[in-house]
Chain A
């Protein structure tokens, strides 16, 4: 193996520090006994206590949870169908429709859905946000499911069909159990994406509905307060757990090559 130059290691270490120091600071100051996020004063759980007494924040968390669940159930159903169809049949329309929302700037989708809902007189709120989240999550689920199917032995389904199973039975008893880890990973990913989304939620939530990212946005727009550090720390913890579980189920999830080599 070639010796690694010192400069390269130093530059890479700098990049890692650049990635992690800011987040570490957020976590550390969430336990700091001071209003200002400036210097370390002493250890406290006060900001977490304050967080769990903050009704606006709890409502936002509840909304995020409801939307996240609806978005992950809806997009997992539709995304699994899409991933299955994209693997089984070589169509052009479906991949284009599934991948376009991922490829275009997020703000376009947020804005066009805002126009769409308002023109239809559809009240902006939890439902409109969930419908929008399903639309952008389908693609991510479909990619994970298709990748899983690409690694599957096709002859198993054929064997089931030859033994007299209907297409549904073959899917239900052979294909589905085999792609299940991919489906669950897709569902967890959709949930995470939904909980995290800011831009599309911002445009489709209307004035009265608040989710966690919207609440964080309006809080940090006014001032920096350690309560945000506390909620950020908890949110990071939840996301981290979900991603660890999802990646155990579908190892390709955390790599850049989620696209199967076809």
Chain B
């Protein structure tokens, strides 16, 4: 190597650190370190007035324990809230899938020119603030609204009493679906768009009817998109607290609400940290599972034949 080449590579190395250094440092300070501190806080004792108890007490004993973890796994009420959050997130994922499938199919089958516009129409509402989207449903489901009155009118015909639509599990589910629907449509569309129409023609020539073509060809081939969409919907829906706060009933406390409570009301940081960690690990585990199923589905024999 000549001396200029050596100088050049030293310069390149310095340039590399000059460019990648600042974002790395920033994200270490404002993301990685706070996360590690939170993991550390989950093994501590809450302070008398919020925050954390001293790391070393007067007796010189180090404050590190599993108390908050024991509390989470020991008291059924917390596991119940956790299970309820899983059920809500799964129900949201399922309803989103049911709504997204026809929508994504229609877009994928549309002429190339109109596809971008149809897709844009799905994404556009997603760019309005999510509180506005929840608020919209507070209007629709509110007791004075036409929709709520119509529903209760129909129920009245059957002799069922008026039901409050707002402040109920129903309202929570509707808002969860509404807020997360685009996350399901996008990956599903990206997948469906790549399907070879010749496969469906071949199946039709062999006598398969519409349902059979869907269940034997389209659906198995779309599984990678389904799993990707499921992960994108499930993770944010799992940790939500604003929706149950705004439109839920008294029994619709989810794990996100519990976390908010620990940090802003009871000020029990260690327990709040435990809840956040459990939430994140569960969400990431499910996402990893979805990714694993997704890659497995990609390698499935159905696609090999394609």
Q: Please tell me the number of chain A residues within 8 Å of chain B, measured between CB atoms.
A: 86
Which A56-104 residues have a C-beta within 8 angstroms of B?
77-79, 81-82, 84-85, 88-89, 91, 93-94, 97-98, 100-101, 103-104
Partner of B186, one of A107, A228, A235, A256: A256
Q: Is the CB of A105 within 8 A of B121?
A: no
Query: Contacts A8-B102, A19-B122, A78-B23; is A112 near B35 (CB within 8 Å)?
Result: yes
Partner of A38, one of B27, B129, B137, B145: B145
Cβ–Cβ < 8 Å partners of B299 in chain A: none
Query: Contacts A107-B241, A111-B38, A232-B135; is A239 near B23 (CB within 8 Å)?
Result: no
A103 to B139: give the CA distance in the assembly, Å: 32
Query: Contacts A103-B287, A232-B129, A254-B123; is A142 near B23 (CB within 8 Å)?
Result: yes
Q: Is the CB of B139 within 8 A of A235?
A: no
Cβ–Cβ < 8 Å partners of A228 in chain B: 135
Partner of B129, one of A25, A84, A213: A213
A53 lies within 8 A of chain B by Cβ: no
CB distance from B50 to the nearest CB of A (A): 9
Q: Is the CB of A104 within 8 A of B109?
A: no
Q: Is the CB of B287 within 8 A of A97?
A: no
Q: Is the CB of A20 within 8 A of B125?
A: yes
Binary A-proximity of B122-158 (CB < 8 A = 1, otherwise 0): 1111011111111111111010111000000000000
A91 to B146: give the CA distance in the assembly, Å: 57
Cβ–Cβ < 8 Å partners of B238 in chain A: 105
B269 lies within 8 A of chain A by Cβ: yes
Q: Is the CB of B20 within 8 A of A81?
A: yes
A91 to B27: give the CA distance in the assembly, Å: 15
CB distance from B82 to the nearest CB of A (A): 14
A41 lies within 8 A of chain B by Cβ: no
B239 lies within 8 A of chain A by Cβ: yes
B306 lies within 8 A of chain A by Cβ: no
B100 lies within 8 A of chain A by Cβ: yes
CB distance from B183 to the nearest CB of A (A): 10
Query: Contacts A39-B146, A107-B276; is A97 near B31 (CB within 8 Å)?
Result: yes
Partner of B279, one of A16, A105, A112, A167: A105
Q: Is the CB of B22 within 8 A of A78?
A: yes
Q: How many A-B residue pairs have CB under 8 A?
A: 242
Query: Contacts A25-B139, A111-B276, A217-B131; is A116 near B239 (CB within 8 Å)?
Result: no
- Nearest residue in A to B197 (C-beta to C-beta)? A2
Partner of B235, one of A22, A105, A196, A221: A105
CB distance from B294 to the nearest CB of A (A): 14
- Nearest residue in B to A255 (C-beta to C-beta)? B119
Partner of A216, one of B111, B129, B200, B272: B129
CB distance from A92 to the nearest CB of B (A): 11
22 contacts between A and B (CB under 8 A): A2-B109, A2-B201, A7-B102, A12-B105, A15-B102, A19-B125, A20-B121, A94-B23, A97-B27, A97-B31, A98-B23, A105-B279, A111-B263, A135-B27, A196-B130, A198-B130, A198-B131, A217-B242, A236-B129, A236-B132, A254-B119, A255-B119
- 18 additional contacts (CB under 8 A) given A12-B103, A134-B30: A14-B99, A15-B181, A20-B121, A25-B136, A25-B139, A36-B144, A81-B22, A82-B20, A105-B283, A106-B236, A108-B38, A112-B34, A131-B30, A199-B241, A202-B260, A216-B132, A228-B135, A239-B128
B residues touching A (Cβ–Cβ < 8 Å)?
A: 11-12, 15-16, 19-20, 22-24, 26-28, 30-35, 37-38, 41, 51, 99-100, 102-103, 105-107, 109, 111, 116, 119-125, 127-140, 142, 144-146, 178, 181, 186-187, 189-190, 197, 200-201, 210, 235-236, 238-239, 241-242, 245-246, 256, 259-260, 263, 269, 272-273, 276-277, 279-280, 283-284, 287
